[in-house]
A and B are shown apart, each in its own frame.
Chain A
């Protein structure tokens, strides 16, 4: 019966190609636009590390040395707090880092061409904590040493994607040896540095030991706060300069409580020494709570997504109206089929088969349109480049949405087609 219903659907499409094309276009534009918006929202609101987002915590402390301006916990820390966090054996892994930037080239290359590269100066725990995927080699074992890990994009630019472990990079005039190369690594959002409008930046080009970067004086390319003046990052270790972010991996509630106590006890020692004028307030926020508090989802995108949902409703009504006229013109055939033995159920299944077939085609067209909408968005808003991506989940959602809207569009026309007596339909 399925093959017969498919055959009837094809007949139906051939009888009114213009009308079905309009229905297809109406549904595809509606679904395509919504999918494109959902792609943006999904990238913005998605869980970047679902397998352990509930175990990774951003550390905020209010160790500001006077009561102005920061009474709330601060997302950046001094070197001394950062080291206190690194020293703790409560977390499974911890990562302390700041963002920087250098020019990079292959030290053995004859070419003097250098590549402007983003740097993450961090502790070794960064790699297991973020589950950074290695293509070759591994991370550095210590927070010091002239070693680096590089990202896939930089490895492609400098070494054409080959295994470059053991090779030496010249970074701002310093020679550092590559210990590992990452696979292409996309984190949407970039949870470990989602502050300062960087939530949708790419992962970094270079990962360097924290102490090495500080010793080399690689400048801080992120927010800093301080109550004192300093000449460079190499002079920040014992000063009230806030610039390091910290993440810890705490596997269960007990460890969370233990680490919270650890932070609070540390703050208490500062208070006892007269170095913590504010009330003690240290906070641990897991990945999704942290991203949610940062409000990284653009409210304009949310508003536009809501508008897309309403637009899709209008498209469904339009498609339904077009199909109503189609079913009205097919009233006689419906009557004839019922007269010769088709039940209401048979007619409904026939109609649903037609709408499912239409929905499948609309799904494919709408995904193509989504892709086009996203490309257009990037043309006008280049900042969206890293998040305007249709992932497999969205492709599936697009197909489902097209099917649901197509079937929904046919519901009322099918109800109308079956509500008359057969003799009335045959007149």
Chain B
């Protein structure tokens, strides 16, 4: 699903050159739930931005769902983001004066869906996150947990291959965080690949694999849980790859 080989991302200004990612290699197979941990400034967000095609990289190779993204034009990158990736942000990133429906509808507007198709997809997504009855609410009328679930519905509406979550529970209390994590696990069990940046070691332990990034490189990995029985063959591939990473 996601293959990065020796990817580097360097930020430069007049005086400083910062290696945010350094020879970064990672393989993530379909159906995996990977947690990414590490101290602040270690390169977690940079990794997620590069993985989500929100940022460019300077060296290396990156293949997403069989597509080598190097050298792709903006239109192609946008289509990849729209069709294959769903983003979940720490601060939800909902448009405050759009209704829940319109927020979830946003990514679908950039595909050639007609109104009926969009409506069906939005309703299905909201159904999945348990907010079908809140379609006409404004984000400000919802709790933090509900807002994050709307953001998850927005990410799911395009039926992406992979979900990229940047500290999805960072702004939530423990009860709401638990609800969101349960939702993510449910989605993963239904087959969605998830990569989640988190600071919470408990959450990191709940997933299939935890990789730790320090100074832009993977410094450690742990396997906490086997994949579902239906994904056994993939589990073996994942383990194989981890040994390469190690």
Contact = CB atoms under 8 A, between A and B. Distances in A.
B56 A344 contact: no
B62 interface: no
A326 B158 CA distance: 30
A309 interface: no
Contact of A346 (B56, B98, B110): B110
B81 interface: yes
Interface in B103-118: 106-107, 109-111
Interface of A: prevailing SS = helix
A223 interface: no
A59 B203 CA distance: 99
A340 B86 CA distance: 7
Interface stretch (B72-80, B120-128, B130-138): B72-80
A343 B56 contact: no
A342 interface: yes
B171 interface: no
A340 B52 CA distance: 10
Interface of B: prevailing SS = helix
Interface in A390-427: 421-423, 426
A283 to B, nearest CB: 65
B121 to A, nearest CB: 13
B81 A333 contact: no
Contacts of A1: 109
Nearest to B158: A341
A4 B111 CA distance: 12
Nearest to B82: A341
Interface string A333-375: 1001111111111100000000000000000000000000000
A345 B75 contact: yes
Contact of B55 (A14, A337, A343, A423): A423
Nearest to A344: B74
Given A341-B107, A342-B110, A345-B75, A336 B93 contact: yes
Given A339-B87, A341-B107, A341-B158, A346 B55 contact: no
A146 to B, nearest CB: 77
Task: Bin the interface of chain A by size.
Answer: 20 to 34
A332 B95 CA distance: 10
Contacts of A344: 74, 78
Interface in B43-99: 45, 49, 52, 54-56, 74-75, 77-79, 81-83, 87, 89, 93, 95, 97-98
Given A422-B54, A422-B55, A340 B81 contact: yes
Contacts of B79: 341, 343
A346 B78 contact: yes
A4 B106 CA distance: 10
Nearest to B110: A341
A15 interface: yes
A423 B109 contact: no
B68 to A, nearest CB: 19
B167 to A, nearest CB: 13
Given A341-B158, A342-B78, A346-B78, A15 B49 contact: no
A423 B74 contact: no
A426 B54 contact: yes
Nearest to B107: A340
Nearest to B91: A426
Contacts of A422: 49, 54-55
Contacts of B52: 339
A333 B91 CA distance: 13
B75 A341 contact: no
Contacts of A342: 78, 82, 110
Contacts of A14: 97
A393 B5 CA distance: 63
A341 B55 contact: no
B154 interface: yes
B47 to A, nearest CB: 11
A4 B49 CA distance: 28
Query: Could you say which of A4, A11, A344, A422 has the most chain B C-beta atoms within 10 Å of its C-beta?
Result: A422
A206 to B, nearest CB: 68
A73 B194 CA distance: 93
Contact of B95 (A4, A336, A423): A336
A11 B154 CA distance: 20
B149 to A, nearest CB: 17
B56 A341 contact: no
Interface of B: 45, 49, 52, 54-56, 74-75, 77-79, 81-83, 87, 89, 93, 95, 97-98, 106-107, 109-111, 154, 158
14 contacts: A11-B98, A15-B97, A333-B95, A336-B93, A339-B54, A340-B154, A340-B158, A341-B82, A341-B107, A342-B110, A343-B74, A421-B55, A423-B49, A426-B89
Interface of A: 1, 4, 11, 14-15, 332-333, 336-346, 421-423, 426
Given A344-B78, A421-B55, A423-B55, 17 more contacts: A333-B95, A336-B95, A336-B106, A337-B106, A339-B52, A340-B110, A341-B79, A341-B158, A342-B78, A342-B82, A343-B75, A345-B74, A422-B49, A422-B55, A423-B45, A423-B49, A426-B89
